[in-house]
A and B are shown apart, each in its own frame.
Chain A
Amino acid sequence: GAVVSQHPSWVICKSGTSVKIECRSLDFQATTMFWYRQFPKQSLMLMATSNEGSKATYEQGVEKDKFLINHASLTLSTLTVTSAHPEDSSFYICSARVVAGGHYNEQFFGPGTRLTVL
């Protein structure tokens, strides 16, 4: 149980275009999901917290108009990188908070999406 998927796993886009990344909880409902960004050989940097049915809460320094987050259902959150530029190239990871079945506020992570902006 507690499987989180992400799609796509790898995307290449041209500078100025927008890219949407999906994060799904496959076998549970996730009221809270998180979006992270990870640079090579570094730790995960939290970008925003996504709560189902409400606006996302962004971390300081993260542009909300550039990284649009939507959590429209209990199993799906999306991150849209708008007008992407090469500096947005990174590894994006989502996670879902699980509070059931013996889990206590643990986050289960998706496999990540590698974004390359040309």
Chain B
Amino acid sequence: AQTVTQSQPEMSVQEAETVTLSCTYDTSESNYYLFWYKQPPSRQMILVIRQEAYKQQNATENRFSVNFQKAAKSFSLKISDSQLGDTAMYFCAFILLRSGTYKYIFGTGTRLKVLA
């Protein structure tokens, strides 16, 4: 069975500092996508960053970047220059392309609080 594990239920970081959220997953498949989503207090799910498994280069989106280690099945999210607006739940997810169902498999989430 495919699983996603986020081992840090809660984290905090000082404003302007850097924080890394961890995510590991388990699958025997080789063709998949990985995502990080942010859910602020409004509860609107927002896509933060996407990584295709076949790409070796780590994805970046402004202050957000990932460390994708395919062999280790690890997909951590680094947030640089943290801002108060980054306070949210962060969910790691992946989708298996071969399944044809396009279903996400979500982790349990990490609650991040950015401190002023």
B47 touching A104 by the CB < 8 A rule? no
B45 touching A43 by the CB < 8 A rule? no
B44 touching A109 by the CB < 8 A rule? yes
A58 located at the interface, meaning its Cβ lies under 8 Å from any Cβ of chain B in the complex: no
Residue in A43, A93, A108 whose Cβ sees the most chain B Cβ within 10 Å: A43
Q: With both chains docked as a complex, state the minimum distance between the C-beta of B95 and any C-beta of chain A, in angstroms.
A: 6
- Quick one: which of B91, B102, B111 contacts A44, CB cutoff 8 A? B91
Quick one: which of B80-116 are within 8 Å of A by CB?
91, 95, 97, 101-104, 106-109, 111
Residue of B nearest to A59 (CB): B103
Residue of A nearest to B50 (CB): A106
* Count of residues in B whose CB is under 8 Å from the partner chain: 23
Q: Which residues of A contact B104 (CB under 8 A)?
A: 34, 44, 46, 107
- Quick one: which of B50, B91, B103 contacts A104, CB cutoff 8 A? B50
Alpha-carbon distance A42/B9, docked complex (angstroms): 10
Residue of A nearest to B92 (CB): A43
B35 located at the interface, meaning its Cβ lies under 8 Å from any Cβ of chain A in the complex: yes
B97 touching A105 by the CB < 8 A rule? yes
User: Would you mind naming 15 contact pairs between A and B with Cβ atoms under 8 Å apart?
Assistant: A34-B104, A41-B111, A42-B109, A43-B106, A44-B91, A44-B106, A46-B104, A49-B101, A91-B43, A104-B52, A105-B95, A106-B33, A106-B47, A109-B46, A111-B44
| Partner-A contacts on B (CB < 8 A) | 33, 35, 37, 42-47, 50, 52, 91, 95, 97, 101-104, 106-109, 111
| Partner-B contacts on A (CB < 8 A) | 32, 34, 38, 41-44, 46, 49, 57, 91, 93, 95, 97, 104-109, 111-112
